[in-house]
Amino acid sequence: MSSKARIFVIEADQVIRSALGYILSERHETFTFAETADALTKAARATPDAVLVGMSILEDDGAETVGMLARKLHQAGIIVVAGSTKSPLALAGLRQGAEAIIAKPITFDGVTHAVDSVLARRGTEPGLAASPRLAPSEISR
């Protein structure tokens, strides 16, 4: 069994999905999906510690997707990947249960910082002690 945190990336845009998967794959066990249903199927066999949800998913399926993921994958921290931390759809994702927003342009440091912060708050990052649950945050670059 891997000691790495398991991260799901759900993003319809293949370029963004690949970039996020590449950034996360060295430090985490990373799985990428073009559709939410595929991620939920995988989650039945391998529960994620964190889930990155791309804006294309929220644009197609609505911010309620974050709420559904938060309920079904309650042990996973949800992070929205958006064009801006001020995007109304991304902010709706926070209200639905997301813990952070990663603003584009996507950077290695921005993505790893957001994921590591969510994992640390949840106490799921190997080697990191659990921290008190914090209010949802907005993280950019």
Which pLDDT belongs to residue 123? 80
Residue of 7, 9, 42 whose CA lies nearest to 27: 7
Which pLDDT belongs to residue 124? 67
Strand partners, 31: 8
pLDDT tens for the chain, 141 residues: list them: 457 999 999 999 999 999 999 999 999 999 999 999 999 999 999 999 999 999 999 999 999 999 999 999 988 999 999 999 999 999 999 999 999 999 989 999 999 999 999 999 888 654 443 333 334 444 443
Domains with residue ranges and CATH for the chain: 6-140 (3.40.50.2300)
CA distance 102 to 9: 13
Calculate the CA 112 to chain-centre distance: 11
Which pLDDT belongs to residue 139? 46
Q: Which helix (H) or strand (E) holds 91?
A: helix 88-95
User: Phi and psi for 17 in degrees, rounded to 5?
Assistant: -60, -45
Strands (E), the chain: 6-10, 29-33, 50-54, 77-82, 100-103, 139-140
Which pLDDT belongs to residue 1? 46
**Tokens representing 61?**
């399926």
